[in-house]
Amino acid sequence: MNRVNAFFVRLFAFFFKEMAEVIRQPKLFITLILGPFLIMLLFGIGYRGTQPPLRTVFVAPHETALSKAIAENVALVGSTIQYAGTVQTMDEMTAMLKSRSVDLGVVIPEDAYEKIRQNQQAEFKVYNNEINPIQLNYLSYVAQIYVDELNRQVISKVAEQTQADAQKVSGYIDKALEINARYKAQLQAGDQAGASASQAELRQNVSSLDQAIGATLAVLSTVDPGISTGGGQTASVQNDITTVKDSKSVAQDIPTDKKDYSAEIANVDENEVVLKRLKANLSDFSAISPYLMTRIFISKNYSINAIDFTMMMYFTPVVIMLLLQHIMVTLAALSIVRERRSGTMELFRVSPIKAGEVLVGKYMSYMVIGIFIAAVLGALVYYGLKVPMLGSWRDAALITLALLFSSLGYGFIISLMAGTESQAVQFSMISLLLSVFFGGLFLDFRNLVYPVKAISEVLPVTYGTQMLQDTMLRGLSFSLITMLKLLGIGVVTFIIALLMMRRKMATE
Amino acid sequence: MTEQQFAPTPGMVITARNVSKYFAKEIAVNQLTFTIPQGKIIGLIGPSGCGKTTTVRLLTGIYRPSKGEIQVLGGDPRHFTSSQRERIGYMTQLFTLFPDLTVRENMDFASSIYGKGLIRRQKRIKTLLNFVELTENRNKLTRNLSGGMQRRLALAATLAHDPDLIFLDEPTAGIDPILRRKFWDYFIELKNEGKTLLITTQYVNEASYCDYVGVMDAGRLIMLEPANQLMKIAFSGEILDLVTTTALGPQVLDAIQALPFIRGEIDQIGRGKYRMTVDEASRSLPQLMSWLDEQGITVEKLEPFLPPYDDVFVKVIQDNRDKQATRAEEIGKES
């Protein structure tokens, strides 16, 4: 009983000592709580989340209709590109890029029409002076969007022309309908000679219609929703033309020895129906806006979440986890090295206190400090920054506890490895850097490959962030496997720290 | 006190046999052999780096001896049981206090690591704070205490769990003479309570407070003797100063030197002033006085001379170094 009592007395000796030492440093305590909150607040206020427009200069040695149109139509790609003028030489453009007065330099191809005529692509050369690889990807993406937009504009012009052609086709159909009506009346009157003349006129008209509709059909086929199913408007138009062309009333001459032309009249009636349908279809095509024709499909994003997340909301769980990890690592890292430097470790080695008691006592105190900081920080971001908590607070608390526990293990290992306090601080900073790069703050750790990915997998912040984001922003319960991995790190680092502590406290 | 005089017998709290400690190829302590009885103050004196702290660390189990054996409180310090550790108090050379804790909290912590519960430690802490005169400052943060107060607090913290065997590594280093005196008063009080104290110091004159004094040099324990014997051993006897009305002639001085209780040569330290070494001052002084009377020499003053401990210490160290040098020379010649 006495031994058990002594064990708890020793455990709480460290617990109260560490607590008192931290609480007696109000500036440190306030910094630990307010620091992370202010970082997130400033981030929320100052981060725009959208790319600024790219100032773009165009290079056109000689002003052509194309160069003028391209420069004038920059606004068509939205606010992504901002027109910054047109220069005549590459040198001028390079100077502007070097002085960073523009972000992009676009060289307009002089021989664009020539190339197209030769069935080749005309190339836009897009220059930049960017050193940030992420920004470079963005520039390439924007340049591609710009060129795609230009291509669409060209296609749009073609479609416009085709629609005008379709109007001409419509005139042929009207004429065909008129001839057809006359042809029918002549057949009904038994006027074989007049009907034959009308038939010949109709035949010629349909042939002209067939030719005229060819180009229109090519454009129509690109916008025809039936393409994917193998039927649709294009096929219908083509069929209708063929039906009229191959119909008996057009293809076969009218017999001269007949008194009753009712069969021929029925054929003419059928043609009338087909021609009317053809006209209706072409009218539909003409009614479609050329702009829409070249941008048939658009995408619009919908979230299944009830909230529109801001960048600050997204980063809050990451920042909370990262800072809690760093605070725990630093507190623990300085803890034992300070005892060693001050000579108190020597006292512990002579006293009956055990390595485990020292370590557990310190764990307890730092856990309580960490819980307090996390609670205040949680309340500040929830009430102050209005970051939502879609999941359960209990889950968030469990995740935080697991992260604090695991982070302390690393801190104590650092403390037992470091010879001086400055070394301990340096090691802590290295652990922070590793966490920033590999813990999911800026880079998605799924993009990493082994063996580097293993670094991510041994960082508490990686798992803490995943689980807290799921809980806070997705309203999910944490994954048990992820939680076990995080706790596993905690247990392993505790055992390592305990073994190291035993060695430090053993006889030299 | 040598191995023969200080045989490891029951009642001895510390026994060391041929203990050496090496750090890499450097020897820190060399062939230490001694025993220490209970209820005494033992002073370990020696120049800086002579191995005093290493000796204390060996005795407290912080260091493992490279050679030899140690028994402290009946156990091997490397494998002390919890109850053995609870009987030991250790004050390190550095301040081992927590600056952000109050005086009272430091005392609580020091007691707690020895498993003393809140109720059990109350009275002891109160007594100790009175003892080191820090009761009034008990709620002060330690970082706001003066250097002397911090030393006193460190001592009180060492005693918080009421240890039987107390190791104090240079407890009086860097503190003023008044506080030093106070500290030694505390130590004597503790000794009177039956505690054993092993105290290292660089202040040679503090040897006078000790029951036994060990002199260390270059990792060796040159001697471990009762403090009052130290002088006798250093000078191969005790010293008498003689002052006569007239200067003594060479024949008279030769005659004095030939007396059986006189050792070595007689030094003239001034006109009519002489210093000589005798076996034992209390017996030799009356004998010499009678002889001088018989010779008709008028004596102005004849009294024992107590040289400063610094001189004694320097003499002991110097003699030891000379002896080592001679031995090394002899070994060199032999080989």
Peptide bond into B260 cis (omega under 30): no
Please write the tens of the pLDDT for every residue from B306-335. 887 778 888 888 888 888 888 878 877 776
Q: Could you give the 3-state DSSP secondary structure of residue B5?
A: coil
Q: Which residue of A has its CA nearest to B62?
A: A507
Give B-chain residues touching A507 at CB under 8 angstroms.
61-64, 77-78
Min Cα distance B96 → chain A (Å) is 5
Work out how many CB contacts closer than 8 A connect A with B. Answer: 86
Could B62 and A351 be called an inter-chain contact, meaning their C-beta atoms sit closer than 8 Å? no
Contacts of A287 (CB under 8 A, 6+ apart): none
Higher pLDDT, B183 or A294: B183
Strand B220-226 to B262-270 pairing: unpaired
Give B-chain residues touching A2 at CB under 8 angstroms.
115
Long-range contacts of B231-236 (CB under 8 A, 24+ apart): B231/B306, B231/B307, B231/B312, B233/B316, B234/B312, B234/B313, B234/B315, B234/B316, B234/B319, B235/B277, B235/B307, B235/B312, B235/B315, B236/B263, B236/B264, B236/B277
Phi and psi, residue A353, nearest 5°: -70, 145
The shortest CB-CB distance from B117 to any of A9, A347, A349 is to A9
pTM of the model: 0.71
Give B-chain residues touching A6 at CB under 8 angstroms.
82, 115
Cα dihedral across residues B303, B304, B306, B312: positive or negative: positive
Token duo for residue A282: 């072409």
Query: Which residue out of A4, A5, A8, A9 would a mutagenesis test of the B interface target, given it has the greatest number of B Cβ atoms within 10 Å?
Result: A9
Give A-chain residues touching B168 at CB under 8 angstroms.
none
Q: How many CB atoms lie within 10 A of CB A435?
A: 28
Please write the tens of the pLDDT for every residue from B37-83. 989 999 999 888 889 999 999 999 999 999 999 999 888 998 898 88
A110-114, B22-26, B233-237: least confident range: A110-114
Longest dimension (CA), chain B: 78
Strand B196-201 to B220-226 pairing: unpaired
Chain A residue set in contact with B, beta carbons under 8 Å: 2-3, 5-7, 9-10, 12-13, 16-17, 20-21, 24-25, 342-344, 346-353, 507-508
Query: Which residue out of B91, B112, B116, B122 would a mutagenesis test of the A interface target, given it has the greatest number of A Cβ atoms within 10 Å?
Result: B112
Sole residue written with tokens 């605070």: A327
Q: Is residue A108 within 8 Å of A59, Cβ to Cβ?
A: yes
Q: Is residue B261 within 8 Å of B301, Cβ to Cβ?
A: no
Share of chain B above pLDDT 90, in %: 44
Could A6 and B115 be called an inter-chain contact, meaning their C-beta atoms sit closer than 8 Å? yes
Sole residue written with tokens 């000689």: A62
Min Cα distance A353 → chain B (Å) is 6
Question: What confidence score (pLDDT) does residue A48 get?
Answer: 67
Segment of A441-450, B176-185, B282-291 carrying the highest mean pLDDT: B282-291
Average pLDDT over residues B193-214: 88
Token duo for residue A487: 């706790």
Question: What confidence score (pLDDT) does residue A495 get?
Answer: 96
Complex ipTM, two decimals?
0.79
Phi and psi, residue A217, nearest 5°: -60, -35
The shortest CB-CB distance from B112 to any of A13, A344, A346 is to A13
Q: Is residue B231 within 8 Å of B312, Cβ to Cβ?
A: yes
Question: What confidence score (pLDDT) does residue A232 get?
Answer: 59
Could B105 and A353 be called an inter-chain contact, meaning their C-beta atoms sit closer than 8 Å? no
Question: What confidence score (pLDDT) does residue B14 get?
Answer: 92
Min Cα distance B177 → chain A (Å) is 25
Min Cα distance B141 → chain A (Å) is 9
Compute the residue count for chain A: 508
CB-neighbour burial class of residue A255 (10 A; exposed 0-12, middle 13-18, buried 19+): exposed
Partners of residue A457 on adjacent β-strands:
none
Ordered per-residue pLDDT tens for chain A, 508 residues: 577 888 888 888 888 888 888 888 777 777 777 777 777 778 777 776 677 888 888 888 777 766 676 666 666 666 778 888 888 889 999 999 999 899 989 888 877 777 777 778 888 888 988 888 878 888 888 888 888 877 777 777 777 777 777 777 788 888 888 888 888 888 888 888 888 888 888 888 888 888 777 656 665 665 554 443 444 566 777 788 888 888 887 888 887 777 777 888 888 888 888 888 888 877 776 777 777 767 777 777 777 777 777 777 888 888 889 889 988 998 898 888 888 887 888 888 898 888 899 899 999 999 998 998 899 888 888 888 788 888 899 999 999 999 999 999 999 999 998 888 888 888 888 888 888 888 777 777 777 778 878 888 899 999 999 899 889 888 888 889 999 999 999 999 999 999 999 988 886 6
Give A-chain residues touching B100 at CB under 8 angstroms.
20-21, 24-25
Average pLDDT over residues B155-177: 88
Buried b (16+ CB within 10 A) or exposed e, B2-21: eeeebebeeebbbbbbebbb
Question: What confidence score (pLDDT) does residue A222 get?
Answer: 54
Min Cα distance A369 → chain B (Å) is 16
Domains in chain A, please, with CATH?
Answer: 54-129 (3.40.1710.10), 156-293 (1.20.120), 317-505 (no CATH)
Domains in chain B, please, with CATH?
Answer: 12-232 (3.40.50.300), 236-305 (3.30.70.1560)
A266-275, A394-403, B177-186, B225-234: least confident range: B225-234
Compute the residue count for chain B: 335
